[in-house]
Structure 1
Amino acid sequence: MDLRKLMLPFTALNLKEKRRNNLKDFLNVAGPMGVTHFLILSKTETAPYLRVARTPQGPTLTFKIHEYSLAADIAQSQLRPRCPKDLFNNPPLIVLSGFGTGEQHLKLTTIMFQNIFPAIDINTVKLSSCQRIVLLNYNKDTKLIDFRHYSIRLQPVGVSRRIRKFVQNHQVPDLRNLQDVSDFVTKAGYGSESEVDDEAATVSLPMDLGRVNRTSNKSAVKLQEVGPRMTLQLIKVEEGLCSGGVIFSEFGNVSSGNKKTNEEEQQKDEEEDEQEDNEDD
């Protein structure tokens, strides 16, 4: 469910699958529903796996999930979890780091994830629609991919947290214990709440965004993790949709004999599925 929510708004969030459903069932409805990719989770006795497949003819990337944390786990670990109502109204941005090694399987991984999310035009995109980011970082030494999902927020530089909340919410602050309204800004414990601004993380906006982020002032870009979080390892790339020739294997090339055996096993599984469907009918 976390992965479905991450892909919002272009995902089947309320899809209900049954145990008797097979890959053919989902592939038959993928075209009419405009589904371009499948994200398939599975689990064995050794580890969970994630398959990312392009419909209708592949390719398919198979990842071993070494570690993962659910969105609920991420939220529980944070002092102030952030999840506005409109956070999932627009698709996330995608950023890939460390994939430019020139290896074919990494190029396929880059293309696959870039095509999962809609492309953006930097000349026409609205800043208000850029609220989430998916980051994939490849470590060439460990061959692991860090998968992270963040929310994006902007804060005006040099403005305390209390002032920002006052401007955004239009709530009258409690001034009963203050001698003057200026104490609300200058008194220790109020004005000092402004976060330290990193010059590298500040930007000048091309347009006003909200009530506090203006083009005349610099704004700081803040990322807060939303989840889910995964550590992945690419172990196999197949030409087709969960089938076909193996383009890449972390454990060595697959011989033609093994390919033939895999195809025979797949055909046998399909015949068994058809037989079960006939029995159900």
Structure 2
Amino acid sequence: MPTKGGRRRKTRTHVVGFPSGAVGAPESEMTEKVPKSFVLKKGKVHSNVSDLAEEMRRVMEPHTARKLRERAKNTVKDYVSVSSVLGVTHLLVFTQTDKSLSLRVCRTPTGPTLTFKVRQFSLMRHVRALQKRPVEVNQAYKTSPLVVLNNFGDKQASSQVKLMKVTLQNMFPSINVATVKLQDCRRVVMFNLDKTNGTVEMRHFAVRATPTGIAKAITKVARSCACVYDGLVRVSSMDTRDSRREPGNVRLPRANKCCGFGVIFLQVVQAKVPDLHGLEDISEYVAGGMGGGISDSEVEDEESKITLPDDYVGRGNVKSQKRRDNSIRLQELGPRLTLELMKVERGLCEGEVLYHSYVTKTAEEIKAQRAKVEKRDNLKRKRREEQAENVARKKQEAEELAAAKAARRLERAQQAAAEGDADEEDSESDGESGEEETGESQGAFGTSTGVDESGSDVLDEMEESE
């Protein structure tokens, strides 16, 4: 454990600083204003819904509370109260009933709130089960995803579609094309609006780039040779005990040793080198004689080919002065969601209903509803004002009562002090009178002493006469 100033300092359990734009970071440490979110579930939900909430947090990373813990007694107001402190701008709340599953997207702190009905959803494990070669992109979750909105229309779209488009777009950070780094574009979140039934499909993809212009057979052979070469280099770089051995003539260790070098040897031997014993020439393999061509799922068309302006993640994706195209592919990560917009509220889970998919009202009904909402808001405002006045009045009365008690306490203290001074004066006067009486009594006792002395003389004379 390191020391600082002569004292031990914990570093693994104490956060030294906040990452840029992280939830909970002070405003001074935020380099830019980015939207942040809470993804939570309310009430009793199925285990699959809990997994869906966890995976939606993965989608919203890195600007979300990844390890948020909900409690049954927490309400939406509790999350709203801390959202301003942590800089949280959106709440994604999953709720489940006996009939349906819903998702509420709330804009803090004043709304609006969009309520979606989740018609269908698939988790990440379901998507991976359908893939032949699933990928792991844990490093991709350290950057924000790109947002793609499809079929949401233009200025002629309806008001609820425009609001839905703006809300979904503002849930993720915006991109500055002039300053964005190519290596940060690792994921894509796509929202597709189906105008036939009004549903929104959400998909989550990982972006992958591969060099083009090389046959798949050659790429496979090159990767196998690279694996073998890498393993031989790692084996040949081992320290040998016998200095007389020539470089490259290294004795391979046995695989049963616990040092780990045997595993390397097995990896070299078990490299997936294609079997070419049935061919007379390598050209037959390259031409596709043994399935070395391009598969149907990896067709390289001209639209998917681009020239990388900078280095990108993956083998062979480097910036080159020569013109070389790279193919861009999307690998689905999950989860999948099929959403249907049910209701739009003006406030945060309350307020006037601006849109409802099942309820249609006339202009008079809308006017009456607005009047009712205004009346309710005015009544709430009036009650708050009365409550504030009552609190101020009670506070003033309490202060006046405390001041009166303090005045009475001070008056009693002054009276007690005055009575104490009077008692001291009485005690002093009593002491002076006592001293005078003592002097008089001493004088009387002196006269009687003389009488006693004369009597004693008489007694002495009587004894002598006898």
TM-score band by shorter chain is: 0.7 to 0.9
Q: For residues 203 and 354 of structure 2, what CA distance do their matches in structure 1 show?
A: 27
Q: Is the partner of 2:139 in helix, strand or coil?
A: coil
**Structure 2 equivalent of residue 106 of structure 1:** 161
The structural deviation recorded for 1:19 is 0.5
**Structure 2 equivalent of residue 243 of structure 1:** 350
Write out per-residue CA displacement over residues 240-266 of structure 1, whole angstroms, 9 at most, x where no aligned residue: 1111111111123464666759x79xx
2:173 maps to 1:118: yes
**Structure 2 equivalent of residue 213 of structure 1:** 317
Q: Is the partner of 2:142 in helix, strand or coil?
A: coil
Would the aligned equivalents of 1:168 and 1:212 in 2 still touch at CA under 8 Å? no
- Cα 1:167–1:246 shift into 2, 3 Å: same
* Residues 118-197 of structure 1 mapped to structure 2, 5 A cutoff: 118-159=173-214, 160=216, 163=219, 166=222, 170-172=226-228, 183=282, 186=286, 188-189=289-290, 191-193=292-294, 195-197=298-300
**Structure 1 equivalent of residue 302 of structure 2:** 199
**Structure 2 equivalent of residue 97 of structure 1:** 150
- Cα 1:126–1:190 shift into 2, 3 Å: farther
Q: For residues 360 and 310 of structure 2, what CA distance do their matches in structure 1 show?
A: 53
- Bigger strand share: 1
- Cα 1:165–1:126 shift into 2, 3 Å: farther
**Structure 2 equivalent of residue 50 of structure 1:** 103
The structural deviation recorded for 1:163 is 2.5
Q: Which runs of 5+ in 1 are unaligned?
A: 268-281
Write out per-residue CA displacement over residues 208-232 of structure 1, whole angstroms, 9 at most, x where no aligned residue: 3244124521111111111110111
Q: For residues 229 and 161 of structure 1, what CA distance do their matches in structure 2 show?
A: 34
The structural deviation recorded for 1:162 is 6.5
> Structure 2 length as normaliser, TM-score?
0.52
Q: Which amino acid in structure 1 is aligned with residue 305 of structure 2?
A: T
- Cα 1:217–1:171 shift into 2, 3 Å: same
Q: For residues 132 and 74 of structure 1, what CA distance do their matches in structure 2 show?
A: 16
- Cα 1:16–1:93 shift into 2, 3 Å: same
**Structure 2 equivalent of residue 227 of structure 1:** 334
Q: Give me the CA root mean square deviation.
A: 2.9
Would the aligned equivalents of 2:224 and 2:272 in 1 still touch at CA under 8 Å? no
Q: For residues 165 and 58 of structure 1, what CA distance do their matches in structure 2 show?
A: 57
Would the aligned equivalents of 1:60 and 1:238 in 2 still touch at CA under 8 Å? yes
Q: Is the partner of 1:86 in helix, strand or coil?
A: helix
**Structure 1 equivalent of residue 5 of structure 2:** none
- Cα 1:163–1:61 shift into 2, 3 Å: same
Q: Which runs of 5+ in 2 are unaligned?
A: 1-53, 229-270, 381-466
Q: For residues 24 and 176 of structure 1, what CA distance do their matches in structure 2 show?
A: 62
**Structure 1 equivalent of residue 18 of structure 2:** none
Write out per-residue CA displacement over residues 35-71 of structure 1, whole angstroms, 9 at most, x where no aligned residue: 1100011112221111111111111111111111111
Write out per-residue CA displacement over residues 103-150 of structure 1, whole angstroms, 9 at most, x where no aligned residue: 111111111111110001112211111111111111111111111111
Q: For residues 168 and 33 of structure 1, what CA distance do their matches in structure 2 show?
A: 50
The structural deviation recorded for 1:167 is 6.0
Q: For residues 86 and 222 of structure 2, what CA distance do their matches in structure 1 show?
A: 45
Q: Which moved more, 1:155-164 or 1:21-30?
A: 155-164
The structural deviation recorded for 1:164 is 6.9
Q: For residues 157 and 79 of structure 1, what CA distance do their matches in structure 2 show?
A: 21
Q: Which moved more, 1:82-91 or 1:49-58?
A: 82-91
> Structure 1 length as normaliser, TM-score?
0.83
2:81 maps to 1:23: no
- Cα 1:191–1:124 shift into 2, 3 Å: farther
Q: Which amino acid in structure 2 is aligned with residue 212 of structure 1?
A: G
- Bigger helix share: 2
Would the aligned equivalents of 1:162 and 1:193 in 2 still touch at CA under 8 Å? no
Which of structures 1 and 2 has the bigger CA Rg? 2
Q: How many residues align?
A: 263
2:189 maps to 1:82: no
- Cα 1:176–1:54 shift into 2, 3 Å: closer
Q: Which amino acid in structure 2 is aligned with residue 192 of structure 1?
A: G
Q: Is the partner of 2:138 in helix, strand or coil?
A: coil
Q: Which moved more, 1:249-258 or 1:159-168?
A: 159-168
